[in-house]
Structure 1
Amino acid sequence: MQRLESRGITGCFYYPIILLLLFLIAVSAVYSVSIGQVHIPFGQSMNILLHALTNGKLGSLHGIQESNSNIIFQIRMPRVIFALLIGMGLSLCGAVMQATVQNPLADPYIIGISSGASLGATIAILIGFGSFFANFGVAFGAFAGAAVTSAAVLLLSSIGGRATSVKLILSGVVIGAFCSSFSDLVIYFANNAEGVQQVAFWSMGSLAPSSWEKIPILAAVVLLGCVFFLFQHRVLNTMLLGDESAVTLGINLSIFRKIYMVLAALITGTMVAYAGTIGFVGLIVPHICRGLFGADHKRLIPATLLIGSLFMIWADILSRILIHNVDLPIGIITSVIGSPLFIYMIVKKGYKFGG
């Protein structure tokens, strides 16, 4: 267990850094609701939010236009909450997947979830399947595709014995390639230029579709998943040590792998259904946290949730301010930021997966 006892470069400053991250998330959230085509001063945004959160006990609306309050609560606040939840969910699933399959290149989409979700969304958009579910048609199609893909991967990896990390990865690659090919086939034969453009935009990831109506389901799935995995740090640590060590400790990793994969697939499928495919968050954030806080999942999971949220909030801010009056797909921003960071971590001496 020696390599899991490392506390990273933060050492005994873990809890002060956690408090600092909470403070930075709060400040970043206020700044995020302040920017846009209609600029709202930071102080006004702070007063509006404090007044709402404390039921009028703190903050003052004196001299603040009602339109500014409506812009913050009806348009920008749901987007910030979406960024928070999706940042938490992707980072959590990335950390869990990396431990589950014992692969530092694992991310929430490694078992083909994104390909399955893309296939479901493509069918919903181009064939019209989603019209039966009104505004949730694309989300339902994407989630259904992700769920079916996850089930197929688990079934395929279980054939011929217990599901190992290698079999899970290979099954995910095969199923993901099949779904991608079928999506391309649907797009090729679709006579719908507007629909194809919508599919392309959805595949890049975006927080623009966020709304208060979609938050309850997303929040319930992500937050319940976070609470569950916060108490699974011992099993996750054991997964990093390998199956042989788990046998000596009396832990059946095959069962836990299936449980964790199902839950991670549910969380990821829900996020992809609402926001599309947002890459690199689930890959890079857990690695950053391991370098800072060590590989012990008792410290890693809470830090991953907070840094993932902060990362996603700022990625969303950049997607709105880099080009004037243009809302860039957030998946482009996360990839542009994540790629150089990951390259740096690869060439950085002393960094090893698991410690």
Structure 2
Amino acid sequence: MRGKSRKNFFLAIFAAVFCLTIFITPFIGSQNLDYSNVVSYLRGSENPDGIIFFDIRIPRILLAIVTGATLSLAGLIFQALLRNPLATPYTLGVSAGGALGAVLMIKLGITFSVLGFSTIQTAAFVGSLLTIILVYYLARSHKRISVHTMILAGITISYFFGAVILMLHFLADFTETRQMIRWMMGGLDIVDPDLLWKSIPVLLIAYLILFYHARMLNILSASEDTAWSKGVSVDRVQRIAFLLASLITGLVVAVSGPIGFVGLIVPHFLRMVLGVDHRYLIPGSLFAGGAFLAICDTFARTIISPVDIPVGIITAILGGPFFLWILVRKG
């Protein structure tokens, strides 16, 4: 099996796993649910299983899928633009920027709401977006992006923001410190369904625009010189891709907190299976990323049930060794 048929085959597998994840994972948890009770709830019969399924688990699974798909796609885009498998929204400082914004609002105790998003969520979104924009402009040299400068800028800013966060921890009281630490772990256990529905239209538009630029990303991921020679507007594609990848990352970080390594593990695995064609990688990253985080979250809430482990801990445990494996493999 070669070429398009092989890619279509694996893409179909990812889509099937994605669908199975949606149907199976909501039934798994600290309390086993009866399928017949869930069905009867749809017919108007009130019962605990139906309430747990539709009001708690379905919103959480959907958030896991949307978050995983988005982080995976953002990682894929950054890696394509920088031609570096280690480039992710988090190695570029997005996590640190969002965390600083959230922690700062927790310490200041400011309360407001923007389109239904809380103070902490709004600050995390703005912090994530401003950080990646800053890194982007620091890395531009002679109208081109310096890959090494961008990664180093992201790491440097992450360390600086980390120091500021530690200072805020030091100045915070017990309640504030606990809230800061819990948010920075990243999790899907506190979900406002309204925020999910408000985010999905924006994310879908971004997905479609990025897929529209898939061919240009193929050329750009080879080299900028090749892209220029083929008539690709490199600056325009880079700006659009960076802006959208940053926007969608900031949005999911605001809702779920900093969940790391999804944008590293999934895109790298997909390239080994699907190759380098972004016409397959983009939908593949949505399917595989969504299923991956939903499965990780299911594992997080059942491994020591009824205790609910933040899913960011699970992805970090998986992602740390994977990151080292990439370094050794590339070395």
Give the structure-2-normalised TM-score. Answer: 0.90
Q: Is the 8 A contact 1:31 1:42 kept in 2?
A: no
AA at the equivalent of 1:329: P
Match of 2:295 in 1: 314
Q: How far apart, in 1, do the equivalents of 2:214 and 2:106 lie? A: 40
Q: Is the 8 A contact 2:37 2:47 kept in 1?
A: no
Q: How far apart, in 2, do the equivalents of 1:121 and 1:48 lie? A: 41
- The structure-2 alpha-carbon separation of the partners of 1:48 and 1:293, relative to structure 1 and needing over 3 Å to count, comes to farther
Q: Is the 8 A contact 1:75 1:211 kept in 2?
A: no
How far the C-alpha of 1:287 sits from its partner, in A, is 0.8
Say which is worse superposed, 245-254 or 294-303, in terms of deviation.
Answer: 245-254
How far the C-alpha of 1:218 sits from its partner, in A, is 2.3
Deviations 1:140-165 (A, max 9, x none): 11112112222322333346644333
Match of 1:218 among 176, 183, 199: 199
Match of 1:186 among 149, 168, 191: 168
Query: Once the two structures are aligned, what percentage of the paired residues are identical?
Result: 31
Match of 1:328 in 2: 309
- The structure-2 alpha-carbon separation of the partners of 1:107 and 1:43, relative to structure 1 and needing over 3 Å to count, comes to farther
Aligned ranges for residues 146-157 of structure 1 at < 5 Å? 146-157=128-139
1:271 aligns to 2:263 (yes or no)? no
AA at the equivalent of 1:167: T
Match of 2:28 in 1: 35
AA at the equivalent of 1:163: I
Which runs of at least 4 in structure 1 moved beyond 6 Å after TM superposition?
none
Root-mean-square deviation (Å): 2.5
Deviations 1:175-224 (A, max 9, x none): 3332222222222222x112112211211110012121111232123222
Q: Is the 8 A contact 2:30 2:302 kept in 1?
A: no
Q: How far apart, in 1, do the equivalents of 2:262 and 2:40 lie? A: 31
Aligned ranges for residues 204-353 of structure 1 at < 5 Å? 204-342=185-323
Match of 1:54 in 2: none
Match of 1:57 in 2: none
How far the C-alpha of 1:308 sits from its partner, in A, is 0.6
Deviations 1:91-118 (A, max 9, x none): 1001000011111101122321111100
Q: How far apart, in 1, do the equivalents of 2:26 and 2:36 lie? A: 11
Q: How far apart, in 1, do the equivalents of 2:321 and 2:148 lie? A: 28
How far the C-alpha of 1:68 sits from its partner, in A, is 1.9
Match of 1:138 among 120, 127, 146: 120
Give the structure-1-normalised TM-score. Answer: 0.84
1:164 aligns to 2:157 (yes or no)? no
Q: How far apart, in 2, do the equivalents of 1:347 and 1:162 lie? A: 29
- Structure 1's unaligned 5+ residue stretches are 1-5, 52-60
How far the C-alpha of 1:29 sits from its partner, in A, is 2.1
Q: Is the 8 A contact 1:152 1:175 kept in 2?
A: no
- Number of paired residues? 328
How far the C-alpha of 1:291 sits from its partner, in A, is 0.7
